[in-house]
Amino acid sequence: MIVLLGRDALPPFRLAQLARAVSDLQGRPVELEASELFLIDAPELPPEPERGRLLSLLSAQPHASDRLADHELLIAPRPGTVTPWASKAADILERCGLGAFSRIEHATLFAVDGLPTAELSNASRRLLHDRMTQSIVEHLADLEGWFEQAEPAPLGVIELGSDPAASLARRNTELGLALSADEIDYLVKAYGRLARDPSDAELMMFAQANSEHCRHKIFNATWEVDGRPVEGSLFGLIRSTHAATPEGTLVAYDDNAAVIEGFDVEMFLTDPDQGAYRCRADRAHIQIKVETHNHPTAISPDPGAATGSGGEIRDESATGRGARPVAALCGFSVSDLRIPDWVQPWETAPVAPGRMASALEIMRDGPIGAARFNNEFGRPALLGYFRSFSAPIGERLWGYHKPIMLAGGSGMIADGQTHKLALSPGDRIIVLGGPAMLIGLGGGAASSMSSGQSDADLDFASVQRGNPEMQRRAQEVIDRCWQQGEANPIKSVHDVGAGGLSNALPELLHDGGVGGQLELREIPTNDPALSPMELWCNEAQERYVLAVAPENLEQFAALCARERCPWADVGEASDDGRLLVADRLGDRAAIDMPLEVLLGKAPRMHRRAETRTTAVESSPLDDITIDQAIDQVLALPAVGSKEFLVTIGDRTVGGLSVRDQMVGPHQVPVADCAITLLDYDGQAGSAMAIGERTPLAVHDSAAAARMAVGEALTNLAGTRVRDRRHVKLSANWMAAAGAPGQDAALRAAVEAVAELCPQLSLSIPVGKDSLSMQTVWNDQQGEQRMIAPVSLIVTAFAPVPDVGVHRTPQLRRDVDSRLLLIDLGRNRLGQSALAQVLTRPLGPVPDLDNAGRLAALFDTVQRLLDDNVILACHDRSDGGLFTTVLEMALAGHCGVRLDLGDDAAEPLADLFNEELGLVIQVADEDLADIRGLFAEAGLDECLREIGELQEQPELDIHAGGERLTRRELPELARRWGETSYRMQRLRDHPDCADEAYAALGDWSRPGLVPKKEFEVPSSVSVHSGARPRVAILREQGVNGQREMARAFMTAGFEAVDVHMSDLEAGRQRLTDFHGLAACGGFSFGDVLGAGQGWARSILFNDALSEQFRAFFDDPRRFALGVCNGCQMLSALREIIPGTDAWPDFIVNRSRQFEARLSLVGIEDSPSLFFADMAGSRLPVVTAHGEGRAVFADGLPAAAPVALRYIDAGGQGTERYPDNPNGSPEGITGLTSDTGRVTILMPHPERLLRRVNYSWAPAEWGELSPWMKMFHNARAWLE
């Protein structure tokens, strides 16, 4: 084995944080150093030039020692695993001609100054590694045999013997199968008929396919409540909403996602033969899906949340015959955060058991995992929620030690692809995507158990790990298939999720009406030691199963080869209804059973529920002042700013985003919903909004459920949708099933929603349940038990005819106006944010008492949007009216005089109740007409005038003619943002968090102030002859090619999709193009440095290097590199004339992915792209993790700068967050001496139209100023 020593593995601030934590645990001062170590399966380094190339790629040198010192500790991946890092590093090494060294792994060498590592406590060791994915190596000798591959483990056979039920019960416990007694009896009878013993692969497969997680047994059960039978299953009640309002729903309940009716669009596709991008008139429909990934996130937050997002993406991709995910949402419910040095008085719950992550760890790491997967895959994250809750109420401990991790989104599916085709005998059965690995084994069954019922090792074994770059490759294959329309080679496709192939392949065959004859050893694997059960049942991610007719197999194989996406033909469909999985290495089949036994009618569950109520109590508020209430409520995570969860997620990739979380020129994260386009030219799109009021369910689960539906609708109200009947809901149900009273509470919540939805003309065509939401553990006080209240998370989706018709919470200061409250409630404070922070009961909980009024509110606001008389709009929710108005004031950067009226007998209740309602800003001149419309809708009693804007930056609150309080907005902004700041400071570079927090309280900052010194061409210029061709260049992992292609097409180019594999194979040559655009994304997952692997695969390939050199030398040709393309082209500067002074790009100063709308100044440079644009200051999208420029001599003086991040005065800045990456002098774009080659870290190509901005000046026209760049390139060729 070769051992190489690389760079520092951790930044100084992170090492200091770790050292402090270890010192506290050890009771003595400790200092740490950390270095990268590379382990390579080869006997020795190669000779030159390969040696130099290898060391250069890894930025490493041979490790000087063959042993670890007493103060050293090695953190390595778990033995027998192949990490996503390793697989991507191997791809790079293969591309660079170093395939002999592609068996590689990455480790971290810690040096501990202050004590021998043998004295490190277990608690300290847990701080230094993730026990889910890593192991501690004490001696380098322990690495011997690290890469050795064992022989396959044998198939296990369970001998049923004379007592089959007892034998199965024993294996049920040993394997963590979670089989019920009825299911064990069912299997005993089934194998009695088959007259043989089951294999362990068959048992594990049955357990996964029939787990609560996969089969939703409680939702399909029969019921009796309080001793009386009740009609209808829970699923039947949900389905009744669709039966009552089916309009606009195309697919419900019978696929991986629901599909709702969309619009006629100009679909943007690539020609299957030539690769040229083109538009095709088609009808695009909208997919909707929301999942949860609670158990894995509780055990290991980062990979748990990452694979939750990845699994939901696959659900969308695998709908019908293939589809494209468009936008993501993400949410978390956890227990008390208990931020160090900032623990709040209400955070009193006992800490979570050691096998589970704490709420703080979940919210530090989980959102990063979800964001990272979406970022690398290339899906903008536009919506979310975050709640922390725990409370001892009614002799119970309520809360979310077992968290909710919500992952969902919307997608686009072509009109002819919405339904899967029936399969025929002989159809080839394909596994597409990554290899099998021993991860996630038993995940479906583990997710079906309450935390504490299973062994901790089984918990850890059941969590998956994700590789979004692999999923991007698979998505590109699926896209190339469905874009062919009727010629789509995919007949049916399923995602691989819970249960792995053991669940997905039987589903594919069963749904297609066939059986299957498969060969186990055709399944791609990175671990040849896997037993048949492990190979069949593991939950390795980024995989799909699909069926292709034999005559289309060659074409499908060519698509996979072009995208470098692994695939395997594992067998064929059969006509006997049987699943046969042969094993050529064994003496019997791993699986041989009728599909009907596996997926047929296993015993139906019967639930006996008893109602148990939690008494409603009320305490006075006489001792609480309004200022005390304000300060405490703003510290509650559900109320405060969520910015630390927003800026880590790319919100613009794909170029179809319209409305993200950030509002106004000050970019305040307070938007109510998310909006995306369906194409690059039209106005049609879709919207989504979340509603959840879970703490109310402690007292009244039905009220909580109704309020969740209501909140989703009020969040959506400010966007003009097609109509209310076309709003469709996803319902995600969580409960502690089996806990006293909770089955009845779940039933009551479902019944309430089933009754409410028809009254509102809404339906629920998709959803998910997770019914093991309790945690049991022992501590010094004995057994502890925390249960989550019945938790319904509602996501409303709707088609939007014109995405420009929506309003945000940003108050307008250019119009004389009033604020109006439409109040649908009764000032109830039960389980409000105020009740939570005061830890006292405050009476009954809010409820939706009149569905007709909610419908009238929604319809009236929609009508006002048509009349263009609403200036701003924001719903009332957590934190009540006070928080609603505060967020509007912050977004509008203006003061508000809030008047509760003369009859406000209980100001605290008026300010902090969380009843359903909306606040809208309207012009004085429209006030009378608006009052008339609300009266016409029967809402005159609900409407009241509550305030007006004022010059002073204050929130000035009055009631009964008296001032109740007056608070300065800068101070309120800091209080509102403090939780987010403290979380960011724990997670990212603390200096950056400090600078951002200081900026939050600086009211003098003007926000984004554009200055445009040129005219934007209104249409494509008329040019003679054929359109010049531009190569839209991408490598595996790149995800920004579509918006780049559309930008060049809009400017008059023919844009051609060119994969690096096309250049390698000779299918395309750069000499055939006038221009080259290297696109953004994550080539090779940014392993070995962002863009570095891509660049080295060119430099270390003589033919490719010469082809690129000739292109750059040709004075008739131009090139543009954006983000990952910028990083790649900068690393090619040795073959690009006039770029010697260009920098390298390294990890951002914050050590975090930064996604922001940033202000840049366009410099006077020779860049052809910025002709006539110098002096302008424009907002542009930032979305990168490694954008900090580092110059060879530390000084950028010689570099021709094209773009800089600037401050309010227009000067280049290094201050965060105005400069999100920390580049010197704000440098974020450069050009070559001649101006023909330009590199940019920001993304102008994502802002083709004004509608793509989260905020832009109202006077801008349809096209964004950044389109001038691309027109300049076209004009240069003339």
Is 992 marked active-site?
A: no
Task: Taking the CA atoms of 759, 763, 769 and 773 in sequence, report the sign of the dihedral they define.
Answer: negative
Q: Is the pLDDT assigned to residue 1188 strictly greater than 50? A: yes
Q: Which of 123-137, 655-669, 1122-1136 has the lowest mean pLDDT?
A: 123-137
For the chain, list the domains and their CATH numbers. Answer: 2-143 (no CATH), 626-646+657-736+801-968 (3.90.650.10), 1029-1277 (3.40.50.880)
**Full-model pTM:** 0.96
**Interval 366-385 mean pLDDT:** 98
Per-residue pLDDT tens for 463-506? Answer: 567 899 999 999 999 999 999 999 999 999 999 988 899 999 99
* pLDDT of res. 820: 99
Q: Is the pLDDT assigned to residue 214 strictly greater than 80? A: no
Residues 460 and 501: their CA atoms lie apart, in Å, by 20
Residues 1269 and 1260: their CA atoms lie apart, in Å, by 16
Is 942 marked active-site?
A: no
Q: What 3 state SS string does 689-720 have? A: EEECCHHHHHCCHHHHHHHHHHHHHHHHCCEC
Residues 1098 and 1106: their CA atoms lie apart, in Å, by 9
* pLDDT of res. 1020: 53
Give the up-direction half-sphere exposure of residue 562: CA atoms within 13 A in the CB hemisphere.
25
Task: Taking the CA atoms of 359, 386, 407 and 384 in sequence, report the sign of the dihedral they define.
Answer: negative
Phi-psi region of 192 (alpha: psi -120 to 50; beta: other; left: phi over 0): alpha
The percentage of the chain sitting over the pLDDT mark of 90, rounded to a whole number, equals 86
* pLDDT of res. 463: 57
Q: Please report which confidence band the pLDDT of residue 460 belongs to, taking 50, 70 and 90 as the band edges.
A: low
**Interval 854-861 mean pLDDT:** 99
Write down the catalytic residue from 216, 1123, 1163, 1225. Answer: 1123
Which of the two residues, 137 and 1057, has the higher pLDDT score?
A: 1057
Residues 957 and 911: their CA atoms lie apart, in Å, by 10
Per-residue pLDDT tens for 887-943? Answer: 999 999 999 999 999 888 899 999 999 999 999 999 999 999 999 999 999 999 999
Highest mean predicted confidence (pLDDT) among 164-178, 440-454, 548-562, 1187-1201: 548-562
Residues 363 and 302: their CA atoms lie apart, in Å, by 9
Q: Is the pLDDT assigned to residue 449 strictly greater than 70? A: no
Asked if 211 and 444 count as a contact pair (C-beta separation under 8 A), the reply is yes
Asked if 7 and 101 count as a contact pair (C-beta separation under 8 A), the reply is no
Tokens 């929604």 sit at which residue? 858
- 1168 forms beta bridges with none
**Interval 803-823 mean pLDDT:** 98
Write down the catalytic residue from 893, 1074, 1243, 1271. Answer: 1243
Per-residue pLDDT tens for 1054-1085? Answer: 999 999 999 999 999 999 999 999 999 999 99
Per-residue pLDDT tens for 318-365? Answer: 999 999 999 999 999 999 999 999 999 999 999 999 889 999 999 999
Q: Is the pLDDT assigned to residue 529 strictly greater than 90? A: no
* pLDDT of res. 733: 98
Per-residue pLDDT tens for 947-979? Answer: 999 999 999 999 999 999 999 999 999 999 999
Asked if 550 and 427 count as a contact pair (C-beta separation under 8 A), the reply is yes
* pLDDT of res. 1022: 46
Q: In Å, what is the CA distance from 1153 to each residue of 648, 660, 696, 1087, 1146?
A: 5, 17, 36, 15, 12
* SS3 call for 1190: strand
Q: Please report which confidence band the pLDDT of residue 279 belongs to, taking 50, 70 and 90 as the band edges.
A: very high
Residues 161 and 182: their CA atoms lie apart, in Å, by 19
**Interval 1124-1132 mean pLDDT:** 98
Q: Tell me whether the omega of the peptide bond preceding residue 49 falls within 30 degrees of 0, making it cis.
A: yes
Here the tokens at position 514 are: 């066939």
Q: Which of 534, 502, 530 is nearest to 518 (CA)?
A: 502
Q: Please report which confidence band the pLDDT of residue 440 belongs to, taking 50, 70 and 90 as the band edges.
A: low
Q: In Å, what is the CA distance from 837 to each residue of 348, 591, 635, 910, 1198?
A: 11, 56, 9, 17, 57
Residues 468 and 1131: their CA atoms lie apart, in Å, by 24
Q: Please report which confidence band the pLDDT of residue 527 belongs to, taking 50, 70 and 90 as the band edges.
A: confident
* pLDDT of res. 451: 54
Average pLDDT value over all residues in the chain: 94
Q: Please report which confidence band the pLDDT of residue 462 belongs to, taking 50, 70 and 90 as the band edges.
A: low
Is 1123 marked active-site?
A: yes
Which of the two residues, 744 and 438, has the higher pLDDT score?
A: 744
Residues 1084 and 307: their CA atoms lie apart, in Å, by 18
Q: Which helix (H) or strand (E) is 677 found in, with range? A: strand 674-677
Tokens 């010697």 sit at which residue? 1140
∠ Cα 769 505 205 (to 5°): 65
The percentage of the chain sitting over the pLDDT mark of 70, rounded to a whole number, equals 97
* pLDDT of res. 903: 86
